[in-house]
Amino acid sequence: MARLLVDGDDLVMGLAWWEKLIARHGDVRVPLAAVEQVSIQPDWWRALRGIRVRTRALAVPGALCVGVWRHGEGQDFLALRRPRRSPTVVVDLRTEAPYARIAVSCPPGSQTVSAINTALHRQRREKAREEARGDTCGETYEEAHGDTCGDTCGDSEAVADRSVRDGPRSRPASFPPAADARTRHDAGSPDQPFRDGPGECPRVP
């Protein structure tokens, strides 16, 4: 007889060998994160919707419903045995799961729903704790490095703005090399006679 159990971060519907043979399917395994709602129905027919996939399901009225049922929202996997005598655990799944719903018969007084809900609450608490830890680490990093980065980036932007506004700085014009003292002296001027050297008298033509 099929049963539901939690295996780490997965919800597993364990099937008997003959159920696997009828459905042509192994154990059904879905992530706990894909579980949307878990409920228990006293009436087995509330879990049924759509039509049976003939090659992957078997229905014996009042005794057995095992396999895949297809409907407008997707496919359901059912494992209901003697449904009129046993309550049905119905697990509705999100779109990322391979099935839209899985349902299995359970003995009266079974703690299956409680075990699944406990696992779901634990996983959600751990996820919320990880998200909170991530936010705290991000804020701490920003406080530690944000001011320094902001000052550095601000200084760089200010320098870039000045460069764009003022344009490239032109180099100062270089002065021509100083002329040799003798060359300037020899060049003379109309008012200054040429001399052969210091202390010499002017030449007579």
Q: What pLDDT digit, counting tens, does each position of 26-70 carry?
A: 999 999 999 999 998 888 888 899 999 999 999 998 788 999 999
Least confident of 71-80, 83-92, 150-159: 150-159
73 falls within a domain:
yes
9 falls within a domain:
yes
203 falls within a domain:
no
Least confident of 107-116, 134-143, 173-182: 173-182
Q: Which residues, other chains included, contact 188 with Cβ-Cβ below 8 Å and sequence gap of 6+?
A: 194
170 falls within a domain:
no
- DSSP label at 9? T
Instruction: Please check the confidence at residue 114 and state whether its pLDDT lies above 80.
Output: yes
- Whether residue 106 contacts residue 89, with contact meaning beta carbons closer than 8 Å, is answered with yes
47 falls within a domain:
yes
- The stretch 191-199 carries a mean pLDDT of 48
Domain count, the chain: 1
204 falls within a domain:
no
Least confident of 74-78, 79-83, 164-168, 191-195: 191-195
* C-alpha to C-alpha distances, 108 to 13, 41, 86, 89, nearest whole angstrom: 18, 11, 6, 11
Instruction: Please check the confidence at residue 84 and state whether its pLDDT lies above 60.
Output: yes
201 falls within a domain:
no
Exposure string over 14-38, b if 16+ CB within 10 A, otherwise e: bbeeebeebbebeebebebebbeeb
- Whether residue 139 contacts residue 131, with contact meaning beta carbons closer than 8 Å, is answered with no
82 falls within a domain:
yes
Domain that holds residue 99: 3-117
